[in-house]
């Protein structure tokens, strides 16, 4: 399985910004669908965004459209999630994931990072 490592989480005030990074262990990461998910304590895991292997098509959950941007740096085997206009309800552990199927369902992603905490204060 491809190894994924997230970074960039932290504490931020409402209205602020963070950029999350997901570094992959191998070049073949470029052929996967790359997704970001999040999970708050006591709640189910939620889809946030994904980008297809080509890096030209993206899809976002309604809750983050217009505020979050997913992007890819092919040379660095890295995917980013730029988060702007953050809200307290964005507070969660954010996970990077990779899979072979274009989907917003977590079960179709076969590789997962360990997660990075994002906390937004009101």
Enter the DSSP assignment of 100. S
Give the dihedral sign, CA 5/91/100/57.
negative
pLDDT of residue 116: 97
pLDDT of residue 55: 66
For the record, the structure tokens of 103 come out as 């989907």
| Mean pLDDT for back-to-back runs of 10 residues, the chain (122 residues) | 92 98 84 92 95 84 97 90 98 95 90 97 95
The burial class, CB within 10 Å (0-12 / 13-18 / 19+), for 13 is exposed
pLDDT of residue 2: 87
Residue 21: beta bridge partners? 7, 80
Give the dihedral sign, CA 108/77/22/114.
positive
pLDDT of residue 42: 93
Q: DSSP letters along 3-18, please?
A: -EEEE--EEEETT--E
pLDDT of residue 28: 72
């Amino acid at each position: 399985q491809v190894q994924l490592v997230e970074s960039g989480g932290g504490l931020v005030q409402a209205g602020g910004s963070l950029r999350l990074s997901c570094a992959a262990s191998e070049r073949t990461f470029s052929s996967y669908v790359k997704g970001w998910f999040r999970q708050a304590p006591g709640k189910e895991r939620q889809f946030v965004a994904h980008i297809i292997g080509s890096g030209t098509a993206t899809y976002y959950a309604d809750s983050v459209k217009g505020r979050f941007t997913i992007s890819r740096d092919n040379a660095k085997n890295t995917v980013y999630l730029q988060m702007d206009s953050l809200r307290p309800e964005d507070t969660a552990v954010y996970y990077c994931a990779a899979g072979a199927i274009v989907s917003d369902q977590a079960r179709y992603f076969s590789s997962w990072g360990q997660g990075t905490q994002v906390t937004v204060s009101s």
